[in-house]
Each structure stands twice: as structure tokens, then as C-alpha cells.
Amino acid sequence: MAVSRLTGSNKPNEQKLSEYECGFPAFEDPRSQFDVRFYLVAILFIIFDLEAAFLYPWAVSVFSIGWTAWISMMIFIGELALGLVYAWKKGALDWE
């Protein structure tokens, strides 16, 4: 990388420094801020996606692990359901 840096040409111009997406010049400022609700929805998605990742191995082995594992998984699902209800009541899922 150092040899390439020393021997390569470095001729920046306006076209090389411009944003380029999907074959077209950028339509908007590339550093525009996103609405906070996008991040909130993304965080909620990650939480419930991880729930599915924990739920799948449990569902595969539910008959061999016994009642204690079943009860602990129901507590886990209940806590996540309470979190979803809380987010819903607080308006985190409303898009106005």
C-alpha cells in the first residue's frame, strides 16, 4: 500500500470527489440526517430478531430439555411481550 501511495498518480478533480450512487449523481446531500424513528424501528427490529434467534434452538429441542427450560423461555417471551406493549403504549411504533 505504501508503494502504491508513493508511485500512484493523485489528480483529484470535481468529478472524482463527487458522490455517485447506482449510476446516477446523488439526488440529495449524502450527509442528510435521518429521522430518529428510523433508528428506533431498527433497534426494535434487532431486539425481536434476536428473540427469534434464541427461540429457534429452544423450539427444536423443546421435548428433550424439560419443563424448567419451557418455563424460562415463557418468562423470556413474556418479558419481550411486555417490552413490545410498553413501546406501543409510548408511541414508539406510531409514524405520524
Q: How confident is the model at residue 79 (pLDDT cuts 50, 70, 90)?
A: very high
Decide if pLDDT at 18 tops 80: no
How confident is the model over 42-57, as a mean pLDDT?
Answer: 88
Grid coordinates given for 87: 413501546
Q: Specify if 81 maps to a domain.
A: yes
Q: How confident is the model at residue 26 (pLDDT cuts 50, 70, 90)?
A: low
Domain that holds residue 46: 2-89
Whole-angstrom distance, CA of residue 42 vs CA of residue 48: 10
- The total of structural domains in the chain comes to 1
> What is the helix (H) or strand (E) element at residue 25, kind and residue range?
strand 24-25
Q: Specify if 50 maps to a domain.
A: yes
Residue 40's pLDDT is 84
Q: Specify if 94 maps to a domain.
A: no
Whole-angstrom distance, CA of residue 94 vs CA of residue 36: 12
Output b/e per residue, 8-27; b: 16+ Cβ within 10 A.
Answer: eeeeeeeeeeeeeeeeeeee
